[in-house]
Amino acid sequence: MKRSTISLALTILLFGALTQAGANESIQTQLSAIKSAAPAERQSMINALQTQIKTMRVQERTRTLQEVREQMPDLAVKIQNDYITQRINEIKNADPMQRNELMNSFKHELAQMNEQERSQTIAQMRKEMSQERVQTKENTQNMQQKRLMDKTEEQQLQQMQQTQQKEQMQQRQGAEQFRQQMGTPQPDTNGFGKKK
């Protein structure tokens, strides 16, 4: 029984090593192709690599990013930043129950990263969170300005209505006074119109 367990463990370990070697060779081949590709093809190849890396488990992704970092540091940073941005957006847009699970999963990923990746990831998270706070603050200020403008417009409209009502009342009063003056004869001071 022990021998079969040991041989099974060795088989799994060997398969894992061969699979990892194959994956490493595949990444090496993809990186070489990206380096030599024309700019038009390069972006689609980078997108394919990013998609492949996103589907990997944390340990595989960490090893793969390390290889990319050794050969193409700028690309590794871009891939890592895009991945972190995607994860942060998933967490922000999730419902509260799912958000908790996603955050715990992300913490687990952070724990498995090397120190450099972890510090870069945390720095990016802080940057994105601070940008979100700034955006939220700007949105709040814009809403407050809009409310203030709406209130000012409403006050101006009320003032215009009150002014219009006063003018209409004054016109009615003036017209009434004019009718009253026209309806009653004025005393004639020149002596015209008097009967003798």
Each domain of the chain, given as residue ranges in start order, spans: 19-113
Tell me the pLDDT band of 16, cut-offs 50, 70 and 90: very low
Tell me the pLDDT band of 105, cut-offs 50, 70 and 90: confident
Average pLDDT, the chain: 78
Tokens (6 digits) for 120: 């870069």
Q: pLDDT tens digits, residue range 41-97?
A: 888 888 888 888 888 887 788 788 888 888 888 888 888 888 888 888 888 888 988
Say yes or no to pLDDT of 21 above 60: no
Single-letter code of the amino acid located at 9: A
The reply to whether the predicted model has a pTM over 0.75 is: no
Average pLDDT on 117-144 reads 81
